[in-house]
Structure 1
Amino acid sequence: MGGTVRLLLGGDVMTGRGIDQLLARPVRPRLTERHVVDARDYVALAERRSGPIPRPVPPEYPWGDVLELIAEVPTAVRLMNLETSVTHSEERERHKTVLYRMSPDNLAVLEVAGVDVWGLANNHVLDHGRTGLLDTVDALGSAGLTTAGAGATEAAAWAPAAVAVQGGAHRVVTLCIAHPSSGVPRHWRARPSRPGVALVEGLGRSAADRVTDRLAATSGAGDVRVVSIHWGTNWGHDVPEEQRTFARRLLAGGVHVVVGHSSHHPRPVEVVDGGLVLYGCGDLVNDYEGIRGYEQFRGELRVVYLAALDATTGHLLDLEIVPFRSRRLRLERADVNDTRWLAGTLAAACRAHGTRVEPAGDRLRVPGE
């Protein structure tokens, strides 16, 4: 029953808006944003910064060199957060102006990555209403893609996703949740008979207990337990104390890995008694290239995390952070200067958490036990 369980973790995958417009069969490009009314304008911004982008692109295009990394670790369980609705629905969330959707006819852009669990508990999955959410769940399910964190009922939204590893000797059991601090409207919370997301409205002890109790009821000995949570603000490296306390309560309650996302760039990493906490994975795929503002955080740099865990204890053995850069809305491996900048930035941000970040060739490394 021993051995190693490997996880490949990415942050927010935002294949709506400009990314959808690059693909062969996009939805209508009309937007309701204050300054941008056509999704193709985001493609134009990226072209203005980095050069022409061919259209249409194949589904592999936005992932770029990430697909090579995925191929390097074929046994890793892959978890990412899909921050868009997959629908043709024209229903719109009236309380928001920035809305994301991609065409179900472009679903191959998700299939090609071979992700084992797509988290849906986030602040864009209901941008096009409950119809859009149900369309999203149906589209991914019909394609054989596993989702967690949102669904037709509260029970469906809170159902963890289980992925067998090592010939079935172990499983990775993932519960996906969201918190209002990431911009999730409270009325999006799933009800017993109403579609929505798995929303925790606070980060206190009762919320942590609800999460750990749900995982305990659906997992057993030998399972690696993961909580994926959409929380926090978009920019900055400081981690609120309530997030640190919540993460520690989850670990104390039997969770092995806490995967946070919503921030547009990577945030600190922490290792607590062998448990891994990623406070913010940063965006992975999006159409932000060329948008001005917050340049000091280098939002064009993206990362993928490769975690090796002890299959028996779930404790972290090793964590690699692999840097990429968005250019022409395609992910390519970061060069030595970008990697060096990211190493220095994350090392400084992680120092307050007692975490050591070391350069390791073309990637970064956080040692485990």
Structure 2
Amino acid sequence: MGGEPVTLFLAGDVMLGRGVDQILPHPGDPALPEAYVTDARTYVELAEAVNGAIPRRAPFSWPWGEALDLLDAAAPDARILNLETSVTQSDDVAPGKAVHYRMHPANLPCLAAARPDACALANNHVLDYGRRGLAETLDSLAAAGLRTAGAGRDLAAARRPVALSLSGGRRLLVFSLGMASSGIPHTWAATADRSGIDLSDEASEAAAAEVAGRVRRAKGAGDLVVVSIHWGSNWGYAVPRDQIRFAHALVDGGADVVHGHSSHHPRPFEVYRGHPVLYGCGDLIDDYEGIGGHDRYRDDLRLLYLLSLEPDTGRLHHARLVPLQAHRMRLRRASREDTDWLREVLARTGSPFGTGITHDPEGTLTVRPSPGS
């Protein structure tokens, strides 16, 4: 078939609840069932104490900031993100959780501003307000024309990939699954007669074989496949060996991209057999700006992942990583100094995987597959 590379935009966690929801035109009930913070507006005030005033009733595009123009300039063929919040007015608080995220359904134009083609929902916050909240989330997203994978009214629906059309009659299939290692309660798993998410207890050989089998059955000639996985801890750069084995098994089984997320900061990027494996994309939008305690990870720095794939093989042609910074709950281009810091961290933590990262004069980080990958 040949042709131009297929470019995908991938993002980590997009968390539009809590403090972010409070600055948008239709803030929901600010009450929080948290032990230390009981009002979502407190997170806005913490961010303001660090970087200055944040507008209330801000335009829907505010949290995305400069990212929107950057995405428009890149013109990706598909945009995929992990939506890590419920979209509901439900008060059915999930028990036993320390943090709960929800955004008012009337604020969905904020998500739509980024024009996502697929939203991964198999994560540890989409059922924060119960199955009633999940039903409203699914209905609200569908009514807004936003397509989802990873959660549904039963297991079959939760496992159904989003199928996107590409040029030349090709398709891009997006699967979404979550793992218990990211803090997802076992009771959130979808079953044949219960709503929930596509949940795997662990990154085992058997679980990888099951997912790879679904990929092979769904993938047709010329199709590309992204498997989006919510897994692992919030902090740290080490990638557990079972996650590496799981990712490799998915690529061996037909996945073209493994899109990992859950960590609040970027984790290593690997090119395995020519295919990109993102072990943790980091947060893209959240309300953590005024929260301290993990400053050494610089979670204020965010990345837009732009992957260009060879259309015939799905192998990586190159990847551009665009560094951004959260400032006043809005994304802006990162400074040269911060970009250099991020490049050094990603190069150092990615070196066990043989990942080389270069920095161009425009402030973009680039990954190219090595000749032997």
Normalised-by-shorter TM-score class? over 0.9
* Superposed CA offset, 1:81-109 (max 9, x none): 00000000010101213100000011100
Instruction: Measure the CA separation in 2 of the matches of 1:81 and 1:136.
Output: 14
Match of 2:212 in 1: 212
Partner secondary structure for residue 324 of structure 1? strand
| Aligned residue number for residue 366 of structure 1 | 367
Q: Structure 1 counterpart of 2:232, which letter?
A: G
In structure 2, the residue matched to 1:203 is 203
Within a 5 Å distance, the mapping from 1:228-247 to structure 2 comes to: 228-247=228-247
- Cα separation, 1, equivalents of 2:211 and 2:335: 40
Deviation larger for 171-180 or 211-220: 211-220
What TM-score do you get using the length of structure 1 for normalisation?
Answer: 0.98
Aligned to 2:311: 311
More moved, 89-98 vs 153-162: 89-98
1:175 is aligned to 175
Matched-pair contact (CA < 8 Å) for 2:181–2:202 = no
Q: State the partner residue of 2:280.
A: 280
Cα distance in 2, alignment partners of residues 112 and 329 from structure 1: 16
**Structure 2 CA distance, aligned partners of 1:238 and 1:94?**
30
State the match for 2:332 in structure 1. 332
Report the residue type matching 2:219 in the other structure.
Answer: S
Cα distance in 2 for residues equivalent to 1:75 and 1:61: 21
Instruction: Look up the match of 1:144.
Output: 145
Partner in structure 2 of residue 225 of structure 1: 225
CA-atom RMSD in angstroms:
0.9
**Alpha-carbon shift at residue 74 of structure 1 (Å):** 2.3
- Comparing 355-364 with 57-66, which one deviates more in the overlay? 355-364
Partner of residue 296, structure 1: 296
Matched residue SS, 2:276: strand
Alpha-carbon distance between aligned partners in 2 of 1:5 and 1:222, rounded to the nearest angstrom: 12
Aligned residue number for residue 34 of structure 2: 33
Query: Within 1, Cα distance between the matches of 2:285 and 2:2?
Result: 35
Q: Is contact 1:12–1:283 with CA below 8 Å preserved after alignment?
A: yes
Specify the alignment match of 1:248 in structure 2: 248
Which residue identity is paired with 1:52?
A
Following TM superposition, by how much is the alpha carbon of 1:55 offset from its aligned partner in structure 2, in angstroms? 1.1
> Gaps spanning 5+ residues in structure 1: where?
none
| Residue 86 of structure 1 pairs with residue 90 of structure 2 | no
The offset of 1:27, in angstroms, is 1.0
Deviation at 1:201, TM superposition (A): 1.2
Per-residue CA deviation, residues 292-318 of structure 1 (Å, 9 max, x unaligned), is 111000000000100000111000000
Is the CA contact (8 Å cut-off) linking 2:81 and 2:116 kept in structure 1? yes
Q: Tell me the distance in 2 between the aligned counterparts of 1:360 and 1:211.
A: 37
Cα contact 1:12–1:285 (8 A) shared by 2: yes
CA contact (8 A) 1:159 1:175 kept: yes
Structure 2, gaps ≥5 residues long = none
- Could you tell me which amino acid in structure 1 is paired with residue 233 of structure 2? T
Residue identity matched to 1:341 = W
> Percent identity at matched positions?
48
Alpha-carbon separation, structure 1, partners of 2:108 and 2:34: 24
Q: CA deviation at 1:69?
A: 1.2
2:21 maps to 1:20: yes
Paired amino acid for 1:260:
G
Q: Distance in 1 between matches of 2:75 and 2:107?
A: 24
The SS at the match of 2:200 is: coil
Q: Partner residue of 1:107?
A: 108
CA contact (8 A) 1:160 1:215 kept: no
Runs of 4+ in structure 1 off by over 4 angstroms are none
Residues 253-264 of structure 1 aligned to structure 2 (within 5 Å): 253-264=253-264
Give the Cα–Cα distance (whole angstroms) in 2 for the partners of residues 76 and 51 of structure 1. 36
Q: CA deviation at 1:275?
A: 1.1
Q: How many residues align?
A: 368
Contact 1:170 1:311 in 2 (8 A): no
The alpha-carbon deviation at position 75 of structure 1 amounts to 3.9
Provide the C-alpha distance between the structure 2 equivalents of 1:75 and 1:263, rounded to a whole number of angstroms: 24
- Match of residue 98 from structure 2: 97
Q: Give the residue type in structure 1 aligned to 2:103.
A: M
SS of 2:331's equivalent in the other structure is: strand
Asked if structure 1 preserves the Cα contact closer than 8 Å seen for 2:270 and 2:276, the reply is: yes
Q: How far did 1:141 drift? A: 0.3
Cα offset for 1:212? 1.3
- Which deviates the most, 281-290 or 202-211? 202-211
* SS of match in other structure, 2:82: strand
Q: Indicate the SS of the match to 1:99.
A: coil
Deviation at 1:209, TM superposition (A): 1.4
